[in-house]
């Protein structure tokens, strides 16, 4: 029995189940629960929110944690241990090492940018975000990463930012918001805005992230140029915008 193949299968299984849990609840919160809670009066929110949200966010945050952990383990096993980061003839270099650091430290750059005034405008933030994605993908390409490697590393970058948002921004904010609503107080508007913004950012990144996760199934014809990856990110973000518009139009009976 090949131990590495066994570990890959187990980690991939956990990764998919955890990812379904995390992203499914992310979409529930953004496309279903957000519009629904907007129809509730103060008394109803005081009853519903303290009972519903803690349960949702328990599975949400731990789904994020296990998706990220198993994703990193798969990256280590499949791409690093499997030595497929570079195409035939390529090898690790300084830029490649720097780009791996960029992948897992991107939240350090993203977080202060997301706190700037311009980032309150979703379209402006998307424009800046896409420009940064272009720079990152160019960095992977210049480092010599093969197609599957630069695609999965962009996915790892999105996933790392998303998981950090969940644990460092969304859940801490929600704890205070839920407590205030339970106690009959108005939650801090800044916390509501922060949690909402980061949840929206995660939703946009998640749709592009799913594209990177089907990695090996997109080599034809998309491996012909790194530009295809940028095109798919743009399509993913445009599609997410349409999903938000649809969510606002769906009504209860």
How many Cα atoms are found within 13 Å in the side-chain-facing hemisphere of 64?
24
Provide the pLDDT confidence category of residue 2 given band limits of 50, 70 and 90: confident
CA dihedral of 202, 206, 208, 211, whole degrees rounded to 10: 170
Which residues, listed in sequence order, are joined to residue 86 by a DSSP beta bridge?
Answer: 145
pLDDT band for position 87 (cuts 50, 70, 90): confident
- Asked whether the predicted pLDDT for residue 150 surpasses 90, the reply is yes
Distance CA 104, CA 110 (A): 11
> How many Cα atoms occupy the beta-carbon half-sphere of 182 within 13 Å?
11
What is the pLDDT confidence band of residue 43, given thresholds at 50, 70 and 90? very high
> What pLDDT digit, counting tens, does each position of 194-228 carry?
999 999 999 999 999 999 999 989 999 999 999 99
Instruction: Tell me how far apart the alpha carbons of residues 155 and 103 are, in angstroms, rounded to a whole number.
Output: 9
Interval 140-159 mean pLDDT: 97
Residue 14 belongs to domain spanning: 3-249
CB 115 within 8 Å of CB 198: no
pTM score, two decimals? Answer: 0.96
Report pLDDT digits (tens) over 95-132.
Answer: 999 999 999 999 999 999 999 999 999 999 999 999 99
Q: What is the pLDDT of residues 45-58, one digit of tens each?
A: 999 999 999 999 99
Extract the tokens encoding 66: 């296990």
Partners of 145 in the beta sheet?
86
Q: pLDDT category, 1, cuts 50, 70, 90? A: low
Place of tokens 């990695």: 215
Taking the C-alpha atoms of residue 166 and residue 30, their distance in angstroms, rounded to an integer, is 14
Count the domains in the chain.
1
Tokens 């990856």 identify what position? 229
Cα separation, 164 vs 105, in Å, equals 10
3-state SS, residue 186: coil
Radius of gyration, CA atoms only, the chain? 19
Residue 88 has pLDDT above 80, yes or no: no
- In this prediction, residue 109 carries a pLDDT of 97
Mean pLDDT, range 73-87, rounded to an integer: 94
Number of Cβ atoms within 10 Å of the Cβ of 73? 17
- Contacts (Cβ under 8 Å, ≥6 apart) of 117: none
Q: Which of 127, 168, 167, 133 is nearest to 153 (CA)?
A: 133
Q: What percent of the chain has pLDDT over 70?
A: 100
Q: Where residue 89 falls among pLDDT bands split at 50, 70, 90?
A: confident
Per the CB < 8 A criterion, the answer to whether 86 and 144 are in contact is yes
pLDDT reported for residue 90: 84
pLDDT tens, residue by residue, 224-244: 999 999 999 999 999 999 999
């Amino acid at each position: 029995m090949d131990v590495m193949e066994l570990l890959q299968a187990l980690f991939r299984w956990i990764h998919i189940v955890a990812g379904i849990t995390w992203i499914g609840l992310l979409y529930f919160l953004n496309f279903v629960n957000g519009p629904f809670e907007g129809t509730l009066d103060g008394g109803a929110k005081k009853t519903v929110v303290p009972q519903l949200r803690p349960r949702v966010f328990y599975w949400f945050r731990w789904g994020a944690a296990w998706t990220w952990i198993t994703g990193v383990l798969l990256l280590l096993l499949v791409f690093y241990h499997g030595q497929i980061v570079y195409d035939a003839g390529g090898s690790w270099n300084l830029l490649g090492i720097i780009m791996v650091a960029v992948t897992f430290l991107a939240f350090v750059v993203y977080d202060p940018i997301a706190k700037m005034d311009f980032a309150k405008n979703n379209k402006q933030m998307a424009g800046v975000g896409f420009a940064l994605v272009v720079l990152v993908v160019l960095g992977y390409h210049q480092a010599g990463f093969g197609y599957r490697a630069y695609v999965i590393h962009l996915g790892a970058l999105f996933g790392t930012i998303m998981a950090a948002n969940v644990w460092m921004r969304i859940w801490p904010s929600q704890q205070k918001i839920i407590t205030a609503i339970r106690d009959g107080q108005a939650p801090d508007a800044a916390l509501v805005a922060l949690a909402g913004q980061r949840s929206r950012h995660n939703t946009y990144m998640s749709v592009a992230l799913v594209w990177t996760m089907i990695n090996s199934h997109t080599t034809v014809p998309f491996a012909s140029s790194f530009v295809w990856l940028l095109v798919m990110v743009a399509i993913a973000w445009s599609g997410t915008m349409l999903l938000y518009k649809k969510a606002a139009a769906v009504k209860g009976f």
